[in-house]
């Protein structure tokens, strides 16, 4: 299967949110969950290394929205060249296509896909999650914080000219990640990371408003 040094070449250094450091964290977390849950480690490791290999840069919104499909196709090329059989390639591709929070058209069905989803999403919460979401806002660029409209709070849809801040992303996605875990191991890991991120945003809003 692809090794870590080979995979490093697939990722640029210009995106602090989806760079190779993110890949390494997902790889380590996916291994940890896979070992605890009895998953196929080779499938999990390959999918972790390949899941963002194509088009994940947030500066290109169109490619970013479809990067899981592009990465799955890239994975098939890489693994076929290594001699993987079609069934195992398809298993890795499913993990990659199913790892996105916003696209539920192909939900994780296998244990390995559930683990890749969890490992990727755990990297979006906790202290690392706070750093990543602020980095994402700076790269797009959008503000770190602005009060969300009542419409956004109720529906997830912004009013005209309403920014999409780090806090908006927290409300829309990050605060819900804990509920989307599949495995017992993933759920246990999400509890503390959810608390850390929630505390951070509570403090951010309070300090922004001069309340503390």
Q: Please check the confidence at residue 136 and state whether its pLDDT lies above 80.
A: yes
- Residue pair 117/182 in contact by the 8 Å Cβ criterion: yes
Tens of pLDDT, residues 174-206? 999 999 999 999 999 999 999 999 999 999 999
Mean pLDDT, residues 10-26 taken together: 86
Residue among 51, 42, 181, 57 at smallest CA distance from 121: 181
pTM of the model: 0.93
Tens of pLDDT, residues 142-184? 999 999 999 999 999 999 999 999 999 999 999 999 999 999 9
Ranges of each domain in the chain: 1-105, 124-212
Identical fold for domains 1-105 and 124-212, yes or no, is no
Tens of pLDDT, residues 27-83? 999 999 999 999 999 999 999 999 999 866 666 666 667 899 999 999 999 999 999
**Domain spanning 124-212: which CATH class is it, in words?**
mainly alpha
Position 17 scores a pLDDT of 84
Q: How far is CA 164 from the centre of its chain?
A: 18
Task: Tell me which CATH code domain 1-105 carries.
Answer: 1.10.3210.10
């Amino acid at each position: 299967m692809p090794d870590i040094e080979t995979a490093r070449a697939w990722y640029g250094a210009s995106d602090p949110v989806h760079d190779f450091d993110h890949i390494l964290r997902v790889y380590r977390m996916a291994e940890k969950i896979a070992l605890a849950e009895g998953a196929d480690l080779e499938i999990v490791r390959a999918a972790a290394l390949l899941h963002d290999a194509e088009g994940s840069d947030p500066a290109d919104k169109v490619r970013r929205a479809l990067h899981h499909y592009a990465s799955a196709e890239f994975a098939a090329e890489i693994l076929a060249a290594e001699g993987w059989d079609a069934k195992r390639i398809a298993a890795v591709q499913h993990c990659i296509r199913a790892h996105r929070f916003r696209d539920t058209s192909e939900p994780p069905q296998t244990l390995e896909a559930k683990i890749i989803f969890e490992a990727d999403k755990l990297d979006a919460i906790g202290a690392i999650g706070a750093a990543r979401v602020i980095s994402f806002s700076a790269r797009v660029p959008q503000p770190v914080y602005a009060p969300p409209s009542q419409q956004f709070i109720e529906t997830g849809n912004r009013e005209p000219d309403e920014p999409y801040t780090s806090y908006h992303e927290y409300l829309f996605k990050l605060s819900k990640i804990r509920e989307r875990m599949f495995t017992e191991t993933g759920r246990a890991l999400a509890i503390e990371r959810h608390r850390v991120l929630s505390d951070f945003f509570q403090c951010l809003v309070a300090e922004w408003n001069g309340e503390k």
